[in-house]
């Protein structure tokens, strides 16, 4: 979800205004994704590298996460959404950790959109934590397969992404699911995240449907 800061700047507003607008946009995109038949949607909200931003901005983002997780709790549950968070949550405030735990537990039997929020998520950090867990479980190195690693990632219960959409004209992965995106398709758009809408999502899906995916085969 890139481009919140630039969206605000274009309007002569502080970056945090863009984050608030970007946060508000998430609910609609979930709705649109479900309408289009998408079963799994992940949003990259905060990376392990985003702590480098000025502390005011980080604090505002953390407040927005807590607000989102609590304000939209009932709505997400009533829409039958299954909510998960990925990333190292131990670095998040107790309030946010609790809100995540409540939402994950309250939505655990839901069968609608599988909505995943990546907060304090970094692919390299995720793999590092997975390796630590594998070692601490005493797994014999000879028994470690790709499936072992996949099963120890934060994303163990969700499929690899078919399509990764990046907004705001940037064309890089920025530590988003480096393991899981080995055969994902990528779609880049200049649209800034707060402006991302059904039309943009449809354009991305149309582009995806024209791709020929061979997964390394013929």
Residues within the interface to Mg ion (CB under 5 A): 2
Q: Minimal distance in Å, beta carbon 213 to Mg ion?
A: 28
The contacts found for 20-29 with CB under 8 angstroms, 24 or more apart, are 20/60, 20/64, 21/194, 22/193, 22/194, 23/64, 23/67, 23/68, 24/194, 25/193, 25/194, 25/196, 26/1, 26/68, 27/72, 27/75, 28/197, 29/196, 29/197, 29/201
Residue 73 contact among ligand IPE, Mg ion, none, beta carbon within 5 to 8 Å by kind = none
Q: Which of residues 132-171 bind ligand IPE (CB under 6 A)?
A: 168
Q: Does residue 1 bind ligand IPE (CB under 6 A)?
A: yes
Q: Does residue 3 bind ligand IPE (CB under 6 A)?
A: yes
Q: Which of residues 61-80 bind ligand IPE (CB under 6 A)?
A: 61
**Binding-site member from 14, 38, 40, 50 for ligand IPE (CB under 6 A):** 50
Cα–Cα distance between 18 and 2 in angstroms, integer? 10
- The region, left, alpha or beta by phi > 0 then psi within -120 to 50, assigned to residue 197 is beta
Catalytic residue list contains 2: yes
Nearer to ligand IPE, 46 or 115 (CB): 46
Nearer to ligand IPE, 82 or 166 (CB): 166
Q: Which stretch binds ligand IPE (CB under 6 A): 3-11, 107-115, 131-139, 205-213?
A: 3-11
Cα–Cα distance between 5 and 16 in angstroms, integer? 7
Cα–Cα distance between 109 and 104 in angstroms, integer? 9
Q: Does residue 6 bind ligand IPE (CB under 6 A)?
A: yes
Nearer to ligand IPE, 87 or 130 (CB): 87
Catalytic hit among 32, 50, 175, 203: 50
Q: Which two tokens stand for residue 91?
A: 């670095």
Q: Minimal distance in Å, beta carbon 88 to ligand IPE?
A: 16
Catalytic residue list contains 106: no
Cα–Cα distance between 173 and 140 in angstroms, integer? 32
Catalytic hit among 2, 32, 125, 154: 2
Cα-Cα end-to-end distance for the chain: 34
Q: Which residues are catalytic?
A: 2, 50
Question: Would you tell me which residues interact with ligand IPE (CB under 6 A)?
Answer: 1-6, 19, 22, 46, 50, 61, 168, 193
């Amino acid at each position: 979800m890139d481009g919140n800061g630039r969206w605000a700047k274009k309007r002569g507003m502080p970056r945090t205004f863009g984050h608030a607008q970007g946060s508000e946009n998430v609910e609609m995109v979930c709705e649109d994704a479900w309408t289009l038949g998408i079963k799994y949607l992940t949003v990259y909200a905060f990376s392990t590298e985003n702590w480098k931003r000025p502390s005011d901005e980080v604090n505002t983002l953390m407040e927005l996460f807590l607000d989102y997780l609590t304000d939209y709790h009932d709505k997400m549950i009533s829409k039958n959404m299954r909510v998960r968070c990925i990333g190292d949550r131990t670095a998040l405030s107790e309030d946010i950790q609790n809100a995540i735990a409540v939402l994950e537990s309250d939505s655990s039997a839901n069968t609608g959109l599988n909505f995943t929020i990546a907060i304090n998520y970094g692919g390299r950090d995720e793999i590092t934590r997975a390796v630590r867990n594998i070692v601490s479980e005493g797994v014999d190195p000879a028994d470690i397969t790709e499936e072992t690693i996949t099963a120890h990632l934060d994303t163990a219960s969700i499929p690899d992404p078919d399509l990764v959409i990046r907004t705001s004209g940037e064309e890089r992965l920025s530590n988003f699911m480096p393991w899981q995106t080995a055969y994902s398709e990528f779609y880049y758009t200049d649209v800034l995240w707060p402006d991302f809408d059904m039309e943009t999502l449809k354009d991305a899906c149309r582009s995806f449907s024209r791709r020929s995916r061979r997964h390394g085969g013929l």
